[in-house]
Structure 1
Amino acid sequence: MARNIRHVPKDTSRRRVWVYVGVAAFILFDILLILWAINSTRASASGSAPRPIPTFRASPATPAAAPTTAAAPTATPTPTAGAASAGIVAVPATRILSAVNATTAWRATTGACPATDASPELTTDSSATWASTDATGPTKVTAVQSLSATSATTLTFIGLTTAGCTPNVVKTFVSGDNYKAYPEQAATSWYVNPVNRAVVHAPAGEHRAPCDAVVALAPRADSAAAVLCADGRLFTTTDAAVTWSAPATLPGAIALAPATTGYLVVSAGRPECAGAQLLTVTDALVPTVAGCYTTSTPATAMAGTVAVSEAAGTIWIWAGEQVVRSTDSGATFK
């Protein structure tokens, strides 16, 4: 009987070894992958932050303004540009004043042409009395626009003719006992024609005003002057109105006049002055509060009814029913 032969696979143990090695290699490779992933995550967390994605704008953004701290109030308030007094609007003056010295001055009231006669008044006793004169009769000029006095006997003014209401120059050399018109001199004079307050006439000719409505003009020389506009802005020129300075706004400004060191401005409605506040303004439009003339006239009624003038170290103010003077730069009035 034949014997069964048992078949034994060759190299079985060797194959098992290679299987074990393969499995171990796979496990080791998997462990290495896990460790690499963990280390990569840690490096990303501990390293520099990722750069933001860039964005683009049509124009650069404007940085926000840094907060400012309000300055402490001073003993003498000084007006600042851009401020305004509630209810105070500058209008053309109905009162005009021109001082000569501490005792002598000329004044006039004005209004519509040709209805308002030109009747300048003269004082030689510090405004205790006033003598009225008649300029319309001999010259046919009405509605005084400006006064320029050099003495008790000599006065020059700009008025409007009864025929056509055109600007004209009128003078007296005899204290107003007689007047004569000099129409040819209007071409070389400073004035603002009421029919067009957007134009300033200078000695060299007409030029566009720095605003639409000039309510006061203060010439200091043939080339230098200041104007007050209805919107409260103040401008100066040093080239006979060809160009104008940047504006400054003085709170409640209602009257303007030339001065030795610049200009005089009267403001109304200021909380620190129950009446007419006097300011001195440099050619560079830097204002300084000079004083206050107290009056019972409501601030809203003062526009157009206050006049100011300076001569020989004396400042005159016409406000309400009074004409007062200061010989100490506006500190006191009498």
Structure 2
Amino acid sequence: MARNVRHVPKDSSRRRVWVYIGVAAFILFDILLILWAINSTRATASGSAPRPIPTYTTTPATPVATPTATPTPTPTPTAGADSAGIVAVPATRILSAVSATTAWRASTGACPATAATPELTTDSGATWASTDATGPTKVTAVQSLSASSATTVTLMGLTAAGCAPEVVKTFVSGDNYKAYPEQVATSWYVNPANRAVVHAPAGQHPAPCDAVVSLAPRSDTAAAALCGDGRLFTTTDAAVTWSTPATLPGAIALALAPATSGYLVVSAGRPECAGAQLLTVTDALAPTVAGCYAVSTPATAMAGTVAVSEAAGTIWLWAGEQVVRSTDSGATFK
């Protein structure tokens, strides 16, 4: 009897082969996924280690200074750029006019070595008569002159003993002098021992600067003061307070200007004047150039050697070796 043979379709065999291939591919894919996961975890683990903290080099900021208030210093005596280095100093020549023909003058210097010998002219300065105030009063070093006539003049000087301020007068054209010590307390003056103080008729007060070199009193309460740095101040309350100053480069001499109720100032070393330049200054300290008197004295040697005064419409100027006068407000001198 013949055996029955099972017939296996060829398509079933092929399907089994593809099943095996698919299972193998799946297994291989799983293996690859596992390996990738392991490597990724290692990378993360290594990446989670603490990283170094970065450091930076910085440039320190420049400290900013805290602003502080700086007091305005008292100016050191210096001259303006156009004043040839001129610095005002105390006068060695003093002049006080009375009229167009009459005036008193004096040379001065250190105390007690310099005798007080005022001179008088009554002929417009053609001749001068010398007098002796030191002999009868022991006064020395004339500081100021205030003449009211050919016979009467008041001077402020310094005593031979101690060099203290002293008031001396003559009423006989200098034939004799007498001291009036009781009048010192009510007088205007600057003591050479301390030029940072001004003495007024009501008492002494701080000067407007470190060194007053010239004082021009107008009344018991009003006066002007010229400082060594060329600044000019006025006071109307007997030196208790002082005005805002006017700066006058090269200013070396100061006097009252009765004709204008202002002041006269002489400047040296100004480029527009080869000599003594005369300025008229109002009571409000507004200056105007009035004229120029040419002298051969070098500008740097003029400080302290020039004096000016006005009376009866005549301006007297002592500069160089001459005393000259002007009757046209300083426009011309002769």
TM range (shorter): 0.7 to 0.9
Rounded to whole Å, the distance in 1 between the matches of 2:229 and 2:249 is 11
Q: Distance in 2 between matches of 1:161 and 1:183?
A: 10
Matched, 1:177 2:175: yes
Contact in 2 for aligned 1:115/1:142 (Cα 8 Å): yes
Confirm or deny: 8 A CA contact 1:155 1:172 kept in the other structure: yes
**What fraction of aligned residue pairs are identical, expressed as a percent?**
88
1:94 aligned residue: 92
RMSD: 1.6
Structure 2 counterpart SS, 1:185: helix
Q: State the secondary structure of the residue aligned to 2:112.
A: coil
User: Which one of the candidate residues 83, 105, 110 is aligned to 2:108?
Assistant: 110
**CA distance in structure 2 between the aligned counterparts of 1:142 and 1:310, rounded to whole angstroms:** 25
Q: CA deviation at 1:82?
A: 6.8
State the 1:259 CA deviation: 1.1
Q: Any idea what the Cα deviations from partners look like across 1:186-233, whole Å, max 9, x if unmatched?
A: 000000000000000000000000001101101111111011111111
Name the amino acid aligned to 1:249: T
Cα deviation digits, residues 127-167 of structure 1 (max 9, x gap): 00000000000001000000000000000010000011000
Q: Is the 8 A contact 1:199 1:207 kept in 2?
A: yes
For 1:91, give the aligned amino acid: V
The 8 Å contact of residues 84 and 250 in structure 1, kept in 2 or not, is answered as no
Partner SS, residue 173 of structure 2: coil
Q: Is the 8 A contact 2:102 2:122 kept in 1?
A: yes
Q: Which has the larger radius of gyration?
A: 2
Give the whole-Å Cα distance in 1 for the aligned partners of 2:245 and 2:159: 33
After the TM superposition, list the runs of 4 or more consecutive aligned residues in structure 1 that deviate by more than 6 angstroms.
none
Kindly tell me: are residues 297 and 86 of structure 1, through their superposed partners in 2, closer, same or farther at Cα, counting changes over 3 Å? same
Residue number in structure 1 paired with 2:50: none
Map 1:224-235 → 2, pairs under 5 A: 224-235=222-233
Is the counterpart of residue 304 in structure 1 residue 286 in structure 2? no
1:164-313 matches, within 5 Å, as 164-260=162-258, 261-313=261-313
Contact 1:83–1:249 (CA under 8 A) maintained in structure 2: no
Deviation at 1:251, TM superposition (A): 1.5
Q: Which runs of 5+ in 2 are unaligned?
A: 1-64, 67-78
Q: For 1:20-169, what aligned pairs fall within 5 Å after superposition?
A: 85-169=83-167
Amino acid at match of 1:280: T
Letter matched to residue 221 of structure 2: S
1:99 and 1:309 in contact (8 A); partners too:
yes
CA distance in 2, matches of 1:84, 1:107: 31
State the SS of the aligned residue for 1:122: strand
Specify every segment of 5 or more residues in structure 1 that has no aligned partner in the other structure, as ranges.
1-57, 60-80
Output the CA distance in 2 between the equivalents of 1:318 and 1:129. 14
Distance 2:111 2:302 in 1: 22
Q: Letter of the 1:311 partner, please give it.
A: A
State the AA in 2 paired with 1:228. Answer: L
1:74-127 deviations in Å (ceiling 9; x for gaps): xxxxxxx97651310100000000000000000000000000000000000000
CA distance in 2, matches of 1:84, 1:137: 45
Would the aligned equivalents of 1:224 and 1:240 in 2 still touch at CA under 8 Å? yes
Q: Which amino acid aligns with 1:202?
A: A
C-alpha distance in 2 between matches for 1:128 and 1:267: 25
What code does the residue aligned with 2:319 have?
Answer: A
TM-score, length basis structure 1: 0.75
Residue 69 of structure 2 is matched in structure 1 by none
Whole-Å separation in 1 of the counterparts to 2:146 and 2:252? 20
Q: Which residue of 1 aligns with 2:6?
A: none
Aligned residues: 257
The residue type paired with residue 333 of structure 1 is F
CA-CA distance at 1:247 after TM superposition: 1.0
Q: Work out whether residues 98 and 107 of structure 1, in 8 Å CA contact, stay in contact via their aligned partners in 2.
A: yes
- Residue identity opposite 1:316 in structure 2: W
